[in-house]
């Protein structure tokens, strides 16, 4: 099965030059909408963290971070971040953010073990955001409200893009369909998790799949999640139907973060109780770190979605294998 899909008769609406100016426009518009909707302030963020800090995101647990030695730090090793999921929560504490306020940042990462296809690159760029919440806000209803706020920011950005570039006719449905991962498995018991997403999102173009990480009735999770940032009962993925590729596109993974109870439970499930030795994890257990909600939202993915692009390489510069280059030659203009 080919991993690179070239839609029949595909032609990019915008040329390379217009695409570049449109990418800048999308990013400016969305940052304005995002900060207004979620009360966020921009902060600077690290490209790498110490390998023994416990702050790097281990994703599904098998991806290897890019690491390097630092002679000036007497043998200390740095790791290029996979995401800032844990770093952001500690930053809210360090920067003294209060309830109802939060931060966002431009996150750049290298995921060396990523399987390359139309939606995946070894280079990852996303808006990472995090906001301080109260104990009373650790609910599904609050999560859903935040998802709707985020979707409204995306819809506003899409509307402004269409005004500036009328030829771009992508329409984002503002109505969010919420479904749990277990409900999806019940609906489509004979499909894989990815096939379930495609089947459901085709009928519900803006979908948020709730509760990802824990085992379903089948014994398998819908998708893997690290045990030490999202509360698996209060998280999810935001997906949109991508017409050129005829598939569901995940744009954001987000959720209410673990409190002490959820952290201990999820670490035990994953056999990762040793992580409690890290400062970050001990600060959750002793109540030092604030309760938060947060997530990441792909910048290249958003540009790809809103501009109707068929390959992520049309909106970012990365490295591609021969199969991808051969499949796209003369058909999809990779940068």
Tracing tokens 């409190």 back to the chain, one arrives at 259
pLDDT of residue 96: 94
Residue 256: per-residue pLDDT:
98
Q: Classify each residue of 44-72 as buried b or exposed e, where b means 16 or more C-beta atoms within 10 Å of its C-beta.
A: ebeebbebeebbbbbbeeeeebeeeeeee
**Catalytic residue set:** 57, 111, 126, 237, 250, 253
Q: Which of 191, 196, 195 is nearest to 179 (CA)?
A: 196
- pLDDT by position in tens, the chain (length 335): 468 999 999 999 999 899 999 999 999 999 999 998 888 999 999 999 988 888 887 776 678 989 999 999 987 899 998 889 899 999 999 999 999 999 999 999 999 998 899 999 999 999 999 999 999 999 999 999 999 999 999 999 999 999 999 999 999 999 999 999 999 999 999 999 999 999 999 999 999 999 999 999 999 999 988 899 999 999 999 999 999 999 999 999 999 999 999 999 999 999 999 999 999 999 999 999 999 999 999 999 999 999 999 999 999 999 999 999 999 999 999 98
What is the domain partition of the chain in residue ranges? 16-328
Specify whether the CB–CB gap between 297 and 303 falls below 8 A: no
Strand order in the sheet with 67-70: 48-50, 76-80, 67-70
Distance CA 58, CA 299 (A): 21
Q: Report whether 96 contacts 262 (CB < 8 A).
A: no
Three-state secondary structure call for residue 150: helix
pTM of the entire structure? Answer: 0.93
Tokens of 164: 């500036």
Closest by CA position to 208, among listed 168, 182, 181: 181
With CA atoms as reference, report the closest residue to 162 among 152, 172, 150: 172
> Tell me, what's the pLDDT at 52?
83
At the fourth CATH level, the homologous superfamily of domain 16-328 is Bira Bifunctional Protein; Domain 2 (3.30.930.10)
CA distances from 269 to 19, 63, 83, 215, 245 (A): 45, 19, 22, 10, 36
Instruction: Sheet with 40-42: list strands edge to edge.
Output: 40-42, 102-110, 123-132, 292-298, 247-257, 230-242, 206-210, 177-180
> What pLDDT does 2 receive?
60
């Amino acid at each position: 099965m080919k991993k690179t899909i070239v839609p029949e008769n595909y032609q990019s609406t915008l040329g390379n030059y217009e695409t570049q100016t449109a990418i800048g426009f999308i990013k400016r518009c969305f940052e304005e909408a995002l900060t207004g909707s979620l009360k966020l302030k921009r902060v600077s963020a690290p490209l790498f963290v110490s390998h023994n800090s416990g702050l790097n995101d281990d994703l599904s647990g098998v991806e290897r971070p890019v690491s390097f030695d630092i002679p000036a730090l007497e043998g200390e090793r740095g790791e290029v971040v996979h995401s800032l999921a844990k770093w952001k929560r500690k930053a809210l504490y360090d920067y003294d953010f209060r309830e109802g306020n939060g931060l966002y940042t431009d996150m750049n990462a290298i995921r060396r073990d990523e399987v390359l296809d139309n939606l995946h690159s070894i280079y990852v760029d996303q808006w990472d955001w995090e906001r301080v919440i109260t104990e009373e806000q650790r609910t599904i209803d609050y999560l859903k409200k935040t998802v709707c706020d985020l979707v409204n920011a995306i819809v506003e950005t899409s509307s402004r893009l269409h005004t500036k570039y009328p030829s771009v006719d992508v329409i984002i449905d503002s109505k969010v369909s919420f479904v749990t991962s277990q409900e999806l498995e019940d609906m489509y018991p004979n499909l894989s998790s990815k096939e379930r997403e495609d089947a459901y999102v085709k009928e519900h173009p803006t979908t948020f799949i709730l509760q990802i990480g824990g085992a379903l009735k089948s014994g398998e999770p819908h998708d893997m999640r690290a045990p030490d940032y999202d509360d698996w009962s209060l998280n999810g993925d935001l997906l949109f139907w991508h017409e050129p590729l005829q598939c569901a596109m995940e744009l954001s993974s987000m959720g209410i973060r673990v409190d002490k109870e959820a952290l201990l439970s999820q670490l035990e499930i994953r056999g990762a109780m040793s992580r409690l030795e890290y400062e970050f994890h001990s600060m959750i257990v002793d109540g030092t770190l604030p309760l938060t909600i947060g997530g990441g939202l792909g910048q290249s993915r958003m540009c790809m979605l809103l501009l109707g692009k068929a390959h992520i390489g049309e909106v970012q510069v990365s490295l591609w294998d021969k199969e991808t280059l051969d499949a796209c030659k003369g058909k999809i203009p990779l940068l």
